[in-house]
Amino acid sequence: MIIVMKSHASPADIANVVRMVEALDYRAHVITGVERTVVACVGEERGEAHSLTHLESVAGVERVMPVLRTFKLASREVRPEGSIIEVGGVAIGGPRITVIAGPCAVESRLQVEGAADAVKAAGAHLMRGGAYKPRTSPYSFQGMEGEGITLLEHAGRRVGLPVVTEIMDAHDIELVAEHSDMLQVGARNAQNFALLRALGRIRKPILLKRGMSTRIEEFLMAAEYILSEGNPNVVLCERGIRTFETATRNTLDLNAVPLLKEWTHLPVVVDPSHGTGLWSLVTPMALAAVAAGADGLLIEVHPDPRAALSDGPQQLTPASFKALMAALKPVAEAVGRRI
Ligand code: PEP
Ligand code: MN
């Protein structure tokens, strides 16, 4: 259920409603919107005695209404105007398209510094790079781990870009959160509920990727795991799903973008690098994603993709990334956004 407060409800009215909701054994999440505050109540509804509808007569309450969807805190009903998530001072979800760029993996100081210079010069807003890599084979490069986190942090700091990196194990959360601005949950961990819950207990922004066989509703339920533990800073990332098609690495599901924008207030970023697996398709699909309403893009960029230790075929060169950024501008403007 959500309790919509009147636009002039006082902080004391809101605190009183939270107290009453908690006394009925629900968890109350106060969501402060532009127009009004909403108290989202999650928990089991166990008959009349636990009913929240009588709160409609409490001071400051406008109405009490059920959230009809299976996901609650992620539902657009609780924040119709959409969420803007701050990542190290950079907003994701506003009128501007936010571009996250960098190599698939941090491979060396030279490589990550070169990538930082390239993505900064082309106008990216955030830098990425994996230090803990979820690889299909245990014999493939697994990432530079803690050392990679430090190299990424320094590279981002030097060029003035906040950094995003993947988290695979709940035991590493403290270390990774201390040295980065946003934690990515990869496709392979999209339904690792223990990890999602643990990430719900911090306040660092989370970039939650869609699992390769996760339906849109399941994707939002994964976000709900993080939100329900108290971390409201979640950004969704469509990165392609597995279909019968093998010509491309994945099938980038652009249907998901406008549908997610209808169903949830959370910002939506698109990753055409993993979505296609082929560098030559990255720019056209990035443009299509922005036209479809994406709030941001995640693009893999490597100083020398042919020498990359992971995902070489899909990474853009610095020159191709620069061209992509230039091509984005008119498309963003055509749909009322900017870059
Ligand atoms: C990545 O971002 O490098 C990555 C491993 O992505 P995904 O989890 O989408 O495969
Ligand atoms: Mn990758």
pLDDT band, very low/low/confident/very high, at 46 (cuts 50, 70, 90): confident
Question: Cα separation of 293 and 332, whole Å?
Answer: 9
Q: If you average pLDDT over residues 233-239, what whole number do you get?
A: 99
- Separation of 278 CA from ligand 1 center, angstroms? 14
pLDDT greater at residue 274 or residue 53: 274
Residues 287, 270 contacting (CB under 8 angstroms) = no
The CATH homologous superfamily to which domain 85-334 belongs is Aldolase class I (3.20.20.70)
User: Is 66's C-beta closer than 6 angstroms to any atom of ligand 1?
Assistant: no
Nearest to 161 by CA among 128, 130, 126: 126
The domain 2-65 is placed in CATH, from the list 3.90.1150.10, 3.40.50.620, 3.30.70.1140, 3.40.50.1000, at: 3.30.70.1140
- Separation of 310 CA from ligand 2 center, angstroms? 7
What local confidence, expressed as pLDDT, does residue 178 receive?
A: 98
pLDDT mean across residues, the chain? 96
- Separation of 100 CA from ligand 1 center, angstroms? 13
Q: Is 127 helix (H, G, I), strand (E, B) or coil?
A: strand
Residues carrying CATH 3.30.70.1140, the chain: 2-65
pLDDT band, very low/low/confident/very high, at 44 (cuts 50, 70, 90): confident
- Separation of 277 CA from ligand 2 center, angstroms? 9
260-311 residue pLDDT tens: 999 999 999 999 999 999 999 999 999 999 999 999 999 999 999 999 999 9
What local confidence, expressed as pLDDT, does residue 238 receive?
A: 99
* Substitution candidate for ligand 1 out of 274, 301, 316 with most atoms within 8 A of CB: 274
* Substitution candidate for ligand 1 out of 271, 298, 309 with most atoms within 8 A of CB: 271
Q: Is the whole model's pTM more than 0.75, yes or no?
A: yes
Reply yes or no on whether the pLDDT at 33 is more than 90: no
Residues carrying CATH 3.20.20.70, the chain: 85-334
What are the CA-CA distances from residue 148 to residues 50, 59, 128, 145 (Å)? 50, 53, 12, 5
User: Is 239's C-beta closer than 6 angstroms to any atom of ligand 1?
Assistant: yes
Nearest to 208 by CA among 186, 240, 232: 186
